[in-house]
Structure 1
């Protein structure tokens, strides 16, 4: 890999703390602190993403590159750093936060001029580690490496993963925060994004009343990541906020399309570019449940449950609006924009459902259809992915019980079969009124409904195998997630086995996950 191309334009523009001190502390009036990765004596590569390396301009992997992938070797021109940000966590203002176990190497520009930031996760403590060690364990690193790539291939805006490696050291973690700490294998992921800028970066500066730096950061973000914005003055910042709202709504719609539950939608985990960022206690949907949260820390309130992700994203945007107010100074504009957000999101959401069902367009009567469908999904505990896969096979001659027998997580009694039959009739009546061909309808469904999603139980099994020194399942999952709209491995297209219903690290996850 050609790591000498990595540059650091961000640090040339904004104030920072150049003490190279990883000790936890407040860093008021600065946006970053220089800090070096911890370094590891016996690293071992687990996985590398050659397609991404080529795409971003790093080129093919060589054995000597392992030292860079874990932060042991740095290009001469690079001074690594962690950024400071703030945020609202579970609805409460948390003050200064920051990159607690992430360290930025900088930015690389490929031959087409595309910029990509490169960041280690799990490479040691930073000033923002808040009494933690800045390390990462294998299970959380595997989950981030695989899921970020899975989301990319599903067509969902996301950060991506370049590499996954053992650090060669053990890390102490209390997985469920219940007083049972254990040694786990340490790992480092290199993740990439166009930018890792978050709502929380703007929240921190605004809360500190550093309004000139706030304006500089907004200008920097617009210039580098929002070229479509051409207005000047306050109108520029208004368009910036509107565009963030649109990107966020589109992202939430994509999460609903594939059945993704983030699990910890704090404002510091929200990207101003509309990317899925920070893969912690997430889950893909097994049985459909609007009230499902994979995060034990989110119980019992279920603030970040699947069905609440739209409204929570709007709440988070309200906090960003407060941070932007010193630039925009127009309360009515901000209020109107946020009120319109709900309208835009639900229209985008329902149009997305139309594509999943193969409908030609969104009609007024479809709202009742979707409401009834959601009720059926929850009552029969139907598997979200498998339901739509089977629906694509539905025809007037279908035996409904046989078609859907492997979809519910409850026993299909005669009464439940009758409810499925009633739904199927209403669905076929709606499909028959389409103004598009059956082929076009089916194509809409096939491009909207993945055949493969990276379920938690598959991740759990993969992590267990890697812990035992095997990588065959990792390779199979990688091939499957790179082709999610094909059924490469039928054994992966199945309901969660009941043996995993109450398995820690599979059905139940914490922020440590």
Structure 2
């Protein structure tokens, strides 16, 4: 890899050096602190994303690059750093937070001018680690590496993963927060994004009344990541906020399309570029359930449940609006923009559902149809992804309604079959209103509905295999997630086996990583 291409615009833009006191947490008046990775003596490569490396301008992997992938032996042109931000966590103001486990290597600009930030996750403590060790365990690292790439190939805006490596050391984690800590294998992921800027970066500057830095940060973000904004003065910041709202709405709609549940939508986990960021206790949907949360820390309130993600996105945008108010200074504009978010979100959400069902356009009665469908899915506990796969087969006459009973996570009976067949009648009536051909309808469905999703039980099996020294399943899952709209491995296109019900990591999991 050509590591010499990495530069650091943030350090030039917002200076501050706390490298001599790496455990200091409060860093007022700056948005970052320089810090060096811990360094690991016996790293071992697990996976390297060569296609991504070529795309962003780093080139092919060589054995000499292994040290860099875990933060060892850095070239002279690199000064790593961690950033400070604030946030609302589970609805409560948490004050200053920051990159407790993420360390920036810097930024690459490839030959086409595309910007990419690179950071290690799990490479050691930073001034924002609080009382944690800054390390990461294998299970959370595998989950982030694979899922971020899965989302990219599903066409969902996301951060991405460049590499996954063992650190060669063990770390102690209490996985279920129940007083039973255990040793686990340590790992480091290198993840990439156009930018890792979060709502929380702006919240911190505003909360500290550092309005000059807040403006500089907004100007930096607009100049580098929002080229469509050409306005000036106060209007520039209004356009900035409107664009963030639109990108955020579009992102959550994509989560609904593929059945992704983030699990911890705190404001510090929200990207101002509209990317999926921070893969912690997430899950792809198995049985359809609007109240499903994969995060055991989110129980019993289920604040971040699947069906609430649009509502929470709007709530988080209210907090960002408060942070940007010193630049915008127009309460009515902010209120109108946020009130419009709901109508924009649900209209485009329903247009997305039209694509999943193969409808040519959104019609007036579709809201009732979708509401009835949701109630049916919830009552019968039908598998979300497989339902639409079977609907395609029903539409092209390769399967009959009888196959749908296999998709339920409940015992089946005639009453359930009757309700399902009544739905199919209403579906056929709705499809008959299309003005496009049946073939075009199927094409729309196939573009919207993945054949493969990275379910938690598959990740669980993969992590177990890697722990035992095998990467065979990792390689198969990587190939499958790179082609999610094809059925390369039919054995992966099944509902969660009953043997995995209730096993931590297979449907629900904690924030421990």
TM-score, normalisation: structure 1 = 0.99
Q: Give distance in 1, aligned partners of 2:352 and 2:427.
A: 16
How far residue 393 of structure 1 moved from its aligned partner, in angstroms, is: 1.1
Q: Give distance in 2, aligned partners of 1:399 and 1:6.
A: 53
Distance 1:398 1:486, change over 3 A: closer
How far residue 25 of structure 1 moved from its aligned partner, in angstroms, is: 2.0
Partner of 2:201: 201
How far residue 432 of structure 1 moved from its aligned partner, in angstroms, is: 1.1
Partner of 1:222: 222
Partner of 1:84: 84
1:130 to 2:130 alignment? yes
Partner of 2:295: 295
How far residue 403 of structure 1 moved from its aligned partner, in angstroms, is: 2.2
Counterparts of 1:357-368 in structure 2, within 5 Å, are: 357-368=357-368
More divergent stretch after superposition (22-31 vs 319-328): 22-31
Q: Give distance in 1, aligned partners of 2:222 and 2:145.
A: 29
1:139 to 2:144 alignment? no
More divergent stretch after superposition (404-413 vs 303-312): 404-413
Q: Give distance in 1, aligned partners of 2:58 and 2:396.
A: 53
SS at match of 1:508: coil
How far residue 130 of structure 1 moved from its aligned partner, in angstroms, is: 1.2
Partner of 2:483: 483
Q: Give distance in 1, aligned partners of 2:385 and 2:399.
A: 20
8 Å contact from structure 2 (residues 380, 410) kept in 1? yes
Partner of 2:472: 472
Distance 1:133 1:24, change over 3 A: farther
Counterparts of 1:432-443 in structure 2, within 5 Å, are: 432-443=432-443
Counterparts of 1:441-480 in structure 2, within 5 Å, are: 441-480=441-480
1:413 to 2:413 alignment? yes
8 Å contact from structure 1 (residues 21, 34) kept in 2? no
Partner of 1:338: 338
Number of aligned residue pairs: 513
8 Å contact from structure 2 (residues 390, 399) kept in 1? no
Partner of 2:502: 502
How far residue 229 of structure 1 moved from its aligned partner, in angstroms, is: 0.1
Q: Give distance in 2, aligned partners of 1:337 and 1:458.
A: 41
8 Å contact from structure 2 (residues 23, 130) kept in 1? no
8 Å contact from structure 1 (residues 354, 362) kept in 2? yes
SS at match of 1:186: strand
Distance 1:407 1:16, change over 3 A: same
Counterparts of 1:284-433 in structure 2, within 5 Å, are: 284-395=284-395, 400-433=400-433
Q: Give distance in 2, aligned partners of 1:106 and 1:325.
A: 30
Cα deviation 1:268-319 (Å, max 9, x = unaligned):
0000000000000000000000000000000000000000000000000000
More divergent stretch after superposition (17-26 vs 259-268): 17-26
Partner of 1:48: 48
Counterparts of 1:168-247 in structure 2, within 5 Å, are: 168-247=168-247
8 Å contact from structure 1 (residues 22, 35) kept in 2? yes
How far residue 491 of structure 1 moved from its aligned partner, in angstroms, is: 0.2
8 Å contact from structure 2 (residues 293, 508) kept in 1? no
How far residue 405 of structure 1 moved from its aligned partner, in angstroms, is: 2.8
How far residue 373 of structure 1 moved from its aligned partner, in angstroms, is: 0.1
How far residue 496 of structure 1 moved from its aligned partner, in angstroms, is: 0.2
Partner of 1:255: 255
SS at match of 1:412: coil
8 Å contact from structure 1 (residues 263, 283) kept in 2? yes
* Structure 1: 5+ residue stretches without partners: none
1:13 to 2:19 alignment? no
Partner of 1:95: 95
Q: Give distance in 2, aligned partners of 1:20 and 1:461.
A: 42
Partner of 1:39: 39
SS at match of 2:105: strand
Partner of 2:271: 271
Q: Give distance in 1, aligned partners of 2:330 and 2:55.
A: 41
Cα deviation 1:411-449 (Å, max 9, x = unaligned):
221111111111111101111110111111101100000
Q: Give distance in 2, aligned partners of 1:465 and 1:398.
A: 36
Q: Give distance in 2, aligned partners of 1:388 and 1:283.
A: 18
How far residue 224 of structure 1 moved from its aligned partner, in angstroms, is: 0.1
How far residue 401 of structure 1 moved from its aligned partner, in angstroms, is: 4.6
Q: Give distance in 2, aligned partners of 1:392 and 1:325.
A: 48
Q: Give distance in 1, aligned partners of 2:412 and 2:50.
A: 45
Cα deviation 1:58-116 (Å, max 9, x = unaligned):
00000000000000021211110000000000000000000000000000011101010
* Structure 2: 5+ residue stretches without partners: none
Distance 1:20 1:80, change over 3 A: farther
SS at match of 1:170: strand
